[in-house]
A = this chain, B = another copy of it.
Amino acid sequence: MGTKWVYDFSEGDASQRYLLGGKGANLAEMTNIGLPVPPGFTITCEACNAYREGGQRFPEGLLDQVAEHRKHLEEGMGRSLGDPRDPLLVSVRSGAPFSMPGMMDTVLNVGLNDASVQGLISQMNDERFAWDSYRRLVQMFGKTVMGIDGDLFEDAIDHMKEQKGVTNDVDLDTEDLKGLVQEFKDIVGRETNKEFPQDPTDQLHEAVEAVFRSWDNKRAQDYRRRNKIPDDLGTAVNVQSMVFGNRGEDSGTGVAFTRDPASGENVPYGDYLANAQGEDVVAGIRNTTPLMEMGSEQPDAFEDLKGHMKTLEKHYRDMCDIEFTVEDHKLWLLQTRVGKRTSLAEWVIAYDMVEEGLIDEEIAVRDRLTAGKLDELFKPGLNPTTEPVAKGLNASPGGAVGRAVFTADDSAEWAERGEKVILVRRETTPDDYHGMVTAQGILTSAGGTNSHAAVVARGEGIPAVCGADAIRIDRKAKGFRVGNDEVKEGDWISINGTDGSVYIERSQVEPSALEAAIGGDEAARRTTLWRAYERFMKVVDEKRRLGVRANADTPDQSSNARSRGAQGIGLCRTEHMFLGEERVAAVRKMIFADTDEEEQQAYDALLPLQRGDFVGILEAMDGLPVTVRLLDPPLHEFLPNHVDLSVAVALAEERGESKVELRGESIGLDDAKTMLQKVEELHEVNPMLGLRGVRLGIVKPGLYAMQVRAIVEAAVELQKKGKDPRPEIMIPLVATAEELRQMREELQPVADQILEDAGVDLHIEFGTMIELPRSCIVAGSIAEHADFFSFGTNDLAQTAFGFSRDDIGKFLGMYEERKLVPTNPFVTIDEPGVGRLMEIAVELGRGSNASIHLGICGEHGGDPDSVVFCDKLGLDYVSCSPFRIPVARLAAAQAVMGEAKTSSK
């Protein structure tokens, strides 16, 4: 016996989604629980794959099995396809294992032809309906199966309506429709040099093939890539006897959700459309009736529908969406599936269903909540009234509205006088930090989702759209052009960091209820969402094994992270402690120092300031670990831009001026020239691979010692006040064991001496970031000198791939498009490459130092798929931006619970 390619609806069940597709499996399930489903059969996904792999030929046995099931269906219905007296009509619909709404093809009314249209007339006693049905078949078949431009048919309809002086399809009469059928058949002949097939068997087979092929159309491929659905699943084909919602006003069709998919409220939701076929509702051609008002038109069918909804919810224990048709007052269910919903509805529905006893908390947390969408609930939404003028990368979620400014200084100034601003720049640098944090949102025309702007924005929770390359910024004129629009300084703009849209308008912003509730708002705390959040996050924290820490650099960020459930700081960057007016003089002194004494003076000036910074952070994280990364970026980041300074110096010399103007700073020409010389000296071809990280610590030994002193003195100060500070010292960019050994040999005594002098007993761990391929490969020897490892997966991805995250904008889009990378390695950990390096490091590290702590502090710590991978790797914690903490907690729980619903597939 060969492969079974075809299943009757009565043969399958809901568990067979990979074989029968989601729709087929659910039709079978509904059939089996006794719901009114028009009979039919499903051709399996396997058949589709066999067809695709076999050079677009039906696999052996398929046509025989289709014929057999068709015969069975015809016998059951007492009608047959193409019968000129009383024909059976069938729909041929796609149905993949995962819902891909509207992406693949459907053909209705298969079985009609010049002869059977007469049978339909007598069967239905409705000539106009029969010709309209035939018209629809030729149109859909022509477009979908024969590949004809759909506009040709629509144009013909419009032309006909114009001729008749009517505006709606329903105003066309029988003769008009008859004429259209002929005209459509002419279009088919003209466009394809073939006749519209009259043989119902040809119609059926060709329709099935069209559905098979539609698996590989471009929009289906794009949808799969976006939703991480594998390409090799294939689609099933459902052949189902037609019922007609377009048999007059006693008939109709609709879609229904068992609960509101937007708010999650436990109220049925949907649309009903009298005298129509399903595609009319989906296409939105005519105005529909809200579902809850359908009772007035179809009281019996509506009661039945409500009953079936209850049955379905009980059966599926989830919110379902349903396509239904009413034919002559009789309700038929054509399809059901678990309904898509917003991230808000996800939480509300899960909570209500737990309350109703439909599911338990564990199922709610494991299966019903999408970790990757949770942070949307923390962000303000945007209600724009115009179309976006540009699309960029959704670099940091949330909506923001403000007046356009073009320099960090302007942003800071305008904000100080109470203006809301959006900072617009080609790209940002560490110099811009002070103006970034004062902006409502950030918009850049260059740079990717891991550019400086994006990383800072996510860290600060500021909405950002990056790399909106349609925007042409004129730095000097302080404005930008996009298409024909022009925006000047002070004009209102809005950005939506959740989807990357840019608007030239002052949109409304909707605050986040969760955010308000965390902030203590009483009304927000009474919402179902907040109750759901509190209840489920408790379960999440009980279930997860991974700790969740925050990447936070300031006391504010630390408190923020803590209120979101952070169990410490996994990455406290210290570069901002070298910025700001008060410090820049000392930092430049450090860079320009000719003698050790001068350099030490610079450190002495910075020490008390940085000690204060650490007191604030350690206090905010009292009782929790705080991993401080010693200075990482190259020193030229603390000096003016090379090109800007070169031009400014050249112009000042040309003009015979004695001062150089640079970003509002006025510097004497000689100083500027000295500075330019230093900038040239420090210039690096590839700063990412240059003098930074531990290399700075080695070349400037006083630097790290000063930082360690500031950290430990801060901890001593707090402990003396009865607090419980827990600093951990992290040395970045280590490539060799010897770097860490020598650095620790130098720094540990600094810490020990301070503790001893203060008579304070405090255990301070020393560890390193693992962020270079070599450090993974030699992790065993590095671990001998480390109390902890923290994976810096951003830099690790950069060096493993040889991808500079600042520069990949030029090709990463194409790389994702053409699947040249398995995932965007800066969003989700690249398991075969970067992930394997991490695995090697974990094995070697634990092998040589069994008590070592392992964490991750790259951006990936907040990505659900990556969190699941980190759980599998056996790390102790993940660390992510404060705003991703709840996401990471949920993903960590789901990782343990086994059925992670991390993405939307």
Q: Which residues of A contact B (CB under 8 A)?
A: 642-643, 646-647, 650-651, 654-655, 684-691, 693, 695, 698-699, 733, 735-736, 738-739, 742, 771-774, 777-778, 781, 795, 798-804, 806-808, 810-811, 814-815, 818-822, 830, 832-834, 836-837
- A834 CA / B822 CA spacing, docked (Å): 24
The answer to whether A822 and B736 touch (CB under 8 A), given A684-B807, A686-B806, A800-B773, is yes
Are A836 and B777 touching (Cβ within 8 A)?
A: yes
Are B801 and A735 touching (Cβ within 8 A)?
A: yes
Closest-CB distance, A413 to chain B (whole angstroms): 26
- CB closest residue in chain B, given A426: B680
Are A802 and B832 touching (Cβ within 8 A)?
A: no
- CB closest residue in chain B, given A798: B689
Q: Which of A655, A773, A795 has the largest number of chain B CB atoms within 10 A?
A: A773
Are A777 and B832 touching (Cβ within 8 A)?
A: yes
Are A698 and B799 touching (Cβ within 8 A)?
A: no
A–B Cβ pairs within 8 angstroms, 11 of them: A685-B806, A686-B687, A686-B804, A690-B810, A736-B821, A738-B819, A772-B802, A773-B773, A774-B801, A774-B834, A778-B833
16 extra interface residue pairs, beta carbon distance < 8 Å, beyond A642-B643, A654-B654, A799-B799: A647-B650, A650-B650, A654-B655, A684-B806, A685-B806, A690-B804, A698-B811, A699-B810, A735-B800, A773-B774, A773-B799, A773-B837, A774-B800, A774-B834, A777-B833, A799-B800
Contact of A807 among B654, B690, B693, B814 (CB under 8 A): B690
- CB closest residue in chain B, given A837: B777
Residues of B within 8 A of A795 (CB): 802
Closest 6 CB pairs of A and B: A773-B773, A689-B804, A686-B804, A690-B807, A774-B833, A685-B806
Residues of B within 8 A of A739 (CB): 820
Residues of B within 8 A of A686 (CB): 686-689, 804, 806-807
Are B735 and A802 touching (Cβ within 8 A)?
A: yes
Contact of A832 among B646, B655, B691, B778 (CB under 8 A): B778
Residues of B within 8 A of A800 (CB): 735, 772-774, 777, 799
Residues of B within 8 A of A684 (CB): 804, 806-807
- CB closest residue in chain B, given A821: B736
Residues of B within 8 A of A646 (CB): 643, 646-647
Residues of B within 8 A of A738 (CB): 818-821
Residues of B within 8 A of A807 (CB): 684-687, 689-691
- CB closest residue in chain B, given A806: B685
Are B774 and A742 touching (Cβ within 8 A)?
A: no
Closest-CB distance, A279 to chain B (whole angstroms): 37
- A690 CA / B810 CA spacing, docked (Å): 9
- A777 CA / B837 CA spacing, docked (Å): 8
- CB closest residue in chain B, given A797: B774
- A803 CA / B684 CA spacing, docked (Å): 11
Closest-CB distance, A593 to chain B (whole angstroms): 15
Residues of B within 8 A of A771 (CB): 802
- CB closest residue in chain B, given A833: B774
Residues of B within 8 A of A832 (CB): 777-778, 781
Are A804 and B643 touching (Cβ within 8 A)?
A: no
Residues of B within 8 A of A691 (CB): 807, 810-811
Are A685 and B804 touching (Cβ within 8 A)?
A: yes
Are A688 and B689 touching (Cβ within 8 A)?
A: yes
Q: Which of A650, A691, A820, A836 has the largest number of chain B CB atoms within 10 A?
A: A820
Residues of B within 8 A of A808 (CB): 690
Are B735 and A833 touching (Cβ within 8 A)?
A: yes
Are B774 and A698 touching (Cβ within 8 A)?
A: no
- A698 CA / B773 CA spacing, docked (Å): 25
- CB closest residue in chain B, given A699: B811
- A727 CA / B685 CA spacing, docked (Å): 33
Are B799 and A802 touching (Cβ within 8 A)?
A: yes
Closest-CB distance, A695 to chain B (whole angstroms): 5
- A543 CA / B223 CA spacing, docked (Å): 59
Residues of B within 8 A of A735 (CB): 800-803, 821, 833
- A788 CA / B811 CA spacing, docked (Å): 26
- A642 CA / B644 CA spacing, docked (Å): 11
Residues of B within 8 A of A733 (CB): 802
- A819 CA / B687 CA spacing, docked (Å): 23
Are A698 and B818 touching (Cβ within 8 A)?
A: yes
- A103 CA / B651 CA spacing, docked (Å): 57
Are B698 and A820 touching (Cβ within 8 A)?
A: yes
- CB closest residue in chain B, given A429: B685
- CB closest residue in chain B, given A653: B651
- A650 CA / B647 CA spacing, docked (Å): 7
Closest-CB distance, A818 to chain B (whole angstroms): 7
Residues of B within 8 A of A689 (CB): 686, 688-689, 798-799, 802-804, 807
Residues of B within 8 A of A736 (CB): 820-822, 833
Are A820 and B742 touching (Cβ within 8 A)?
A: yes
- A800 CA / B840 CA spacing, docked (Å): 14
- CB closest residue in chain B, given A834: B774
- A650 CA / B777 CA spacing, docked (Å): 49
Closest-CB distance, A266 to chain B (whole angstroms): 47
Closest-CB distance, A558 to chain B (whole angstroms): 29
- A392 CA / B651 CA spacing, docked (Å): 35
Are A698 and B814 touching (Cβ within 8 A)?
A: yes
- A684 CA / B686 CA spacing, docked (Å): 9
- CB closest residue in chain B, given A772: B802
- CB closest residue in chain B, given A469: B681
Contact of A801 among B699, B772, B822 (CB under 8 A): B772
Q: Which of A651, A699, A774, A818 has the largest number of chain B CB atoms within 10 A?
A: A774
Residues of B within 8 A of A798 (CB): 689
- CB closest residue in chain B, given A647: B650
- A775 CA / B244 CA spacing, docked (Å): 58
Residues of B within 8 A of A834 (CB): 774
- A433 CA / B33 CA spacing, docked (Å): 79
Q: Which of A646, A691, A801 has the largest number of chain B CB atoms within 10 A?
A: A801
Closest-CB distance, A687 to chain B (whole angstroms): 7
- CB closest residue in chain B, given A807: B690
Contact of A695 among B687, B742, B774, B811 (CB under 8 A): B811
Closest-CB distance, A208 to chain B (whole angstroms): 30
- A210 CA / B895 CA spacing, docked (Å): 63
- CB closest residue in chain B, given A822: B736
Closest-CB distance, A633 to chain B (whole angstroms): 12
Residues of B within 8 A of A802 (CB): 688-689, 693, 733, 735, 771-772, 774, 795, 799
Residues of B within 8 A of A820 (CB): 698, 736, 738-739, 742
- A695 CA / B821 CA spacing, docked (Å): 12
Closest-CB distance, A327 to chain B (whole angstroms): 50
- CB closest residue in chain B, given A801: B735
- A733 CA / B773 CA spacing, docked (Å): 16
- A808 CA / B777 CA spacing, docked (Å): 21
- A246 CA / B666 CA spacing, docked (Å): 75
Residues of B within 8 A of A818 (CB): 698, 738, 742
Residues of B within 8 A of A685 (CB): 687-688, 804, 806-807
- A772 CA / B834 CA spacing, docked (Å): 12
- A837 CA / B776 CA spacing, docked (Å): 10
Residues of B within 8 A of A654 (CB): 651, 654-655
Q: Which of A688, A693, A822 has the largest number of chain B CB atoms within 10 A?
A: A688
Closest-CB distance, A474 to chain B (whole angstroms): 12
- A26 CA / B733 CA spacing, docked (Å): 48
Residues of B within 8 A of A833 (CB): 735-736, 773-774, 777-778
- CB closest residue in chain B, given A771: B802
Residues of B within 8 A of A695 (CB): 811
- CB closest residue in chain B, given A780: B832
Closest-CB distance, A665 to chain B (whole angstroms): 18
- A819 CA / B745 CA spacing, docked (Å): 14
- A705 CA / B819 CA spacing, docked (Å): 21
- A689 CA / B689 CA spacing, docked (Å): 9
